[in-house]
Amino acid sequence: MTRPYLVFKRLMDILVASIVLIILSPIILLSLLIQWIEIGSYPVFIQTRPGKNEVLFNIIKLKTMNQKRDHEGNLLPDKDRITRFGRFFRSASIDELPQLINVLKGDMSFVGPRPLLVAYLELYNDEQKKRHLVRPGITGLAQVNGRNAIDWDDKFSYDVEYVQRISFLLDLKILLKTVQKVIARKDIQNQVDRPMPRFTGSK
């Protein structure tokens, strides 16, 4: 990692996130309204995640699931709680758009390892912990190389590889591949129907 590029990367994050937020604000507001009506409650999902150097922050996403429960009061499986529009928002990655606010705040970057659950911190080995040496991203090297189609060890290997190879050209390549996958919805529908199982530690 080179400090000059990290400074440039941060400045570009601020500039691009500001522009994209302005351009896409009608879509974001309409999506929030639709989910408010469909879910019947606050349409924003906020959860604590570890960021750079394992500093905790609140990630912001669009809610895509309702709170339906079984007769014993337990939440139904995710696939049974995804709303009609929520499924579309996930497949089109619209549910990720509120994370532009996280980028502006400095919690996240456009490109970097995806921020995972706080509970996973104690499960990482020393090599996997390197994924927290940079800001987490909305998209990343693992996301353009299979998303949920690869296992956790491969996912973390891509994350660490990104930290070691971080550069303008790599970020640009990842962003272009992300746009291509979102347009084609490649690997995304599988993520909607078959979410990644919880990480329980490496073998």
Task: Read off the pLDDT of residues 36-85 as tens digits, 9 standing for 90 and up.
Answer: 998 888 899 999 999 999 999 999 999 998 888 888 878 888 778 888 89
Task: Read off the pLDDT of residues 106-163 as tens digits, 9 standing for 90 and up.
Answer: 999 999 999 999 999 999 999 999 999 999 999 999 999 977 778 899 999 999 999 9
Residue 184 has pLDDT above 80, yes or no: no
Pull the structure tokens for residue 179. Answer: 């746009």
Return all residues near 2 (Cβ < 8 A) that are at least 6 apart: none
**pLDDT value at residue 188:** 56
For residue 119, the tally of other CB atoms under 10 A from its CB is: 10
C-alpha–C-alpha distance, residues 97 and 59, integer Å: 11
Q: Which of 160, 148, 150, 149 is nearest to 124 (CA)?
A: 160
Place of tokens 């996301």: 143
- What is the DSSP-derived secondary structure letter of residue 181? H
Pull the structure tokens for residue 184. Answer: 């084609």
The letter for the amino acid at 58 is N
Taking the chain, what is the end-to-end CA distance rounded to the nearest angstrom? 29
Residue 179 has pLDDT above 80, yes or no: yes
Residue 190 has pLDDT above 60, yes or no: no
Quickly state the pLDDT bin for 203 (edges 50, 70, 90): low
For residue 149, the tally of other CB atoms under 10 A from its CB is: 13
Distances (CA, A) of 83 to 29, 37, 44, 79, 92: 18, 11, 14, 9, 14
Pair 43, 67: CB distance under 8 Å: no
Q: For 4-13, 28-37, 187-196, which range has the lowest pLDDT when averaged over its residues?
A: 187-196
Pair 5, 167: CB distance under 8 Å: yes
Pair 139, 93: CB distance under 8 Å: no
Helix, strand or coil, per DSSP, at residue 47: strand
Residue 189 has pLDDT above 60, yes or no: no
C-alpha–C-alpha distance, residues 92 and 143, integer Å: 14
